[in-house]
């Protein structure tokens, strides 16, 4: 329900001038923040924002590749004829800015080491306060260079293992590792990758980098069993539908492979589902907005596709970015984190584990980590648990199927038409 101190719902006989007078503002201000072109035309039931703070706030959150906050980053924001240079706090956030109207453009740049500015993105303020999450494709950690040992002639000592043209990193130069300790509970000072000074047997300096992400102890048990044609036939018989129906759903649900190169099941982490399932609800919305929020991720706009592809911007939770977010959420609430992901070839949400035929969320995830065949078994159980869904699969009623399988937002992603088209290809 809208906050009555910030919003007003138009009633019969209301005028914009009367509303402005009642709440101590001006008609022009209400027009600006609500995008009302004609002050004499407001509709019954229309929601009117009374203050710019209700709809024009913009927050920026800056994260590294591992979803750790980047602090002390100098950024420049150009908006509403203003230019502000701000620095991120310990939690990776910039001070909130307030645009003049929801139609204002906000240009976001970051300072390079040489003092010049690099434009990251630009967004429209939009109706409703906005959090812009920017994730770097790199991991940031603090560290200083160490003096390099020299020979008696004052020349740097060369490690013979690294002297060839295509050197192979020796064991004493480790890559970033994952620590096994408990991760942090929220964003803030001292969180993120840590460095430790080390030296090789030759006395050459290097830095060991460890990450504070929690260990994903549910991973493992991968068998590599693929779904056979016989499996599809048996699954179709069990549901009572055609094989082409099941294949169509699999194609649309998982645009990537069922497992990644590290044999982890394909997942899609959804922060609004995590927010809904923590105890109490919304517990981490304020401290961890990147992984817990009432708002679900939106697809990137056309203008931002290149930034998303490069990893510079993640305003939509792509498959490849989900595990780092899951790791953060898993350190806060294991069950809620696993329930907040869709899993495997058929992208079944974790909170549907009982309908998929499992007693606990943990046994469900273990199954999803094993094989594609386990994914198919879970899909069959899930469809059969809902007679409306099963009948829709049998009758190829894609609208009803998508609505029950993907939820109320199915039309936004065009799931019904995508499945229909995929079915026609497999039916041939």
- Which pLDDT belongs to residue 328? 86
Compute the distance between CA of residue 240 and CA of residue 391 in angstroms, rounded to an integer. 9
Query: What topology does CATH give the domain 7-51?
Result: Membrane-bound Lytic Murein Transglycosylase D; Chain A (3.10.350)
Which of 326, 311, 183 is closest to 265 using CA atoms?
326
* Three-state secondary structure string covering the chain: CCCCCCEEECCCCCCHHHHHHHCCCCHHHHHHHHCCCCCCCCCCCCEEECCHHHCCEEEEEEECCCCCECCCCEEEEEECCEEEEEECCCCCECCCEECCCCCCEEEEEEECCCCCEEEEEEEECCCCCEEEEEECCCCCCCCCCCCCCECCCCCECCCHHHCCCCCCCCCCCCCCEECCCCCCCCCCCCCCCEEEEEECCCCCEEEEEEECCCCCCCCCCCCCCCCCHHHHHHHHHHHCCCHHHHHHHHHHHCCCCCECCCCCECEEECHHHHHHHCCCCCCCCCCCCCCCCCCCCCCCCHHHHHHHHHCCCCCCCCHHHHHHHHHHHHHHCHHHHHHCEEECCCCEEHHHCCCCCCCCHHHHHHHHHHCHHHHHHHHHHHHHCCHHHHHHHHHCCHHHHHHHHHCHHHCCCCHHHHHHHHHHHHHC
**Domain definitions of the chain by residue range:** 7-51, 55-135, 150-215, 229-427
Q: Which distant-in-sequence residues (6+ apart) come within 8 Å of 220 by Cβ? A: 369
Compute the distance between CA of residue 49 and CA of residue 68 in angstroms, rounded to an integer. 34
Question: pLDDT 10s digit of each residue in the chain, 428 long?
Answer: 567 788 889 999 899 999 999 999 999 989 888 888 898 889 888 888 888 888 888 999 898 877 778 889 999 999 999 999 999 988 888 999 999 888 889 999 999 988 899 999 888 877 777 888 887 777 665 666 666 667 776 666 666 555 444 443 333 322 333 333 333 334 444 455 666 777 777 667 766 666 656 678 899 899 999 999 999 999 999 999 999 999 999 999 987 689 988 899 999 999 999 999 999 999 998 888 888 988 776 554 444 455 445 444 444 444 447 888 898 899 899 999 999 999 999 999 999 999 999 999 999 999 999 999 999 999 999 999 999 999 999 999 999 999 999 998 898 889 999 999 999 999 98
- Answer whether 0.75 is exceeded by the pTM: no
Q: Which distant-in-sequence residues (6+ apart) come within 8 Å of 182 by Cβ? A: 214, 331
Compute the distance between CA of residue 157 and CA of residue 376 in angstroms, rounded to an integer. 58
Which of 376, 272, 286 is closest to 325 using CA atoms?
272
- Which pLDDT belongs to residue 308? 47
CATH 3.90.400.10 describes domain 55-135: no
């Amino acid at each position: 329900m809208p906050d009555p101190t910030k919003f007003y719902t138009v009633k019969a006989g209301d005028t914009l001038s009367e509303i402005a007078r009642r709440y101590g503002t001006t008609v022009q201000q209400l027009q600006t923040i609500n995008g009302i072109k004609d002050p004499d035309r407001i509709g019954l039931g229309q929601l009117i924002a009374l203050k710019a703070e209700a709809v024009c706030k913009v927050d920026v959150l800056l994260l590294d590749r591992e979803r750790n906050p980047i602090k002390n980053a100098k950024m420049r924001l150009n908006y509403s004829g203003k230019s502000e240079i701000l620095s991120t706090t310990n939690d990776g956030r910039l001070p909130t800015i307030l645009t003049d109207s929801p139609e204002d453009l906000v240009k976001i740049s970051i300072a390079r080491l040489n003092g010049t500015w690099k434009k990251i993105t630009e967004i429209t303020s939009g109706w409703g306060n906005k959090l812009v999450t920017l994730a770097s494709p790199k991991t940031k950690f603090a560290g200083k260079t160490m003096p390099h040992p020299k020979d008696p002639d004052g020349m740097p000592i060369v490690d013979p293992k690294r002297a060839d043209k295509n050197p192979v990193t020796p064991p004493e130069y480790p890559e970033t590792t994952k620590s096994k300790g408990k991760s942090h509970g929220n964003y803030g000072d001292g969180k993120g990758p840590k460095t430790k000074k080390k030296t090789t047997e030759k006395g050459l300096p290097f830095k060991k980098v460890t990450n504070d992400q929690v260990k994903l102890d549910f991973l493992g048990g991968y068998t590599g069993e693929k779904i056979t044609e016989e499996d599809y036939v048996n699954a179709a018989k069990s549901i009572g539908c055609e094989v082409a129906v099941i294949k169509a759903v699999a194609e649309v649900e998982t645009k990537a492979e069922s497992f990644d190169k590290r044999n982890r099941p394909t997942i899609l982490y959804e922060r609004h589902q995590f927010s809904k399932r923590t105890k109490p609800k919304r517990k981490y919305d304020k401290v961890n907005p990147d992984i817990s929020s009432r708002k679900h991720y939106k697809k990137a706009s056309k203008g931002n596709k290149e930034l998303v592809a490069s990893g510079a911007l993640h305003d939509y939770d792509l498959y490849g970015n989900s595990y780092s977010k899951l790791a953060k959420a898993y350190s806060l609430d294991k069950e809620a984190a696993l329930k907040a992901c869709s899993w495997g070839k058929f992208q079944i949400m974790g909170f549907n584990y009982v309908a998929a035929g499992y007693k606990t969320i943990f046994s469900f995830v273990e199954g999803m980590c094993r094989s594609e065949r386990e994914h198919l078994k879970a899909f069959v159980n899930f469809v059969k648990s809902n007679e409306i869904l099963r009948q829709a699969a049998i009758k190829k009623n894609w609208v009803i199927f998508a609505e029950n399988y993907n939820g109320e937002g199915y039309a936004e992603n065009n799931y019904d038409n995508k499945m229909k088209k995929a079915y026609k290809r497999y039916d041939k």
